[in-house]
Amino acid sequence: PLPTTVALSSGSSPGPTRRLRQNSARLSWEEDEVERLLVEIMTGIHSRCVEHGRVADTGEVNYVRGANIAGFVKVADAMLAFGVV
């Protein structure tokens, strides 16, 4: 499993946000739905870490580097979308 810091760095920590929405809407989710969402989230994190963290010389994946770059890209894309830059 990925360390929490990698998930946070990659800009993929929807857990607290999802929980707040679920609580405010008074929703309850079935266990299989929660499992499906977690698999989807972690698969996305892994894909972004591989995409941005592959080391050219060896082909290995540096997950911390990949997560940092993925997080930066996510913030930069949001800034561009909102016209900040």
pLDDT tens digit sequence for 1-58: 455 555 555 555 555 666 666 666 777 888 999 999 999 999 999 999 999 999 999 9
The pLDDT score that the predictor gives to residue 85 is: 82
Could you read off the pLDDT of 54-71 as tens digits, one per residue? 999 999 999 999 999 999
- For residues 9 and 68, is the Cβ–Cβ distance under 8 A? yes
- What is the residue whose two structure tokens read 């309850």? 28
The pLDDT score that the predictor gives to residue 77 is: 95
Mark 24-41 as b/e (b = at least 16 C-beta within 10 Å): eeeeeeeeeeeeeeeeeb
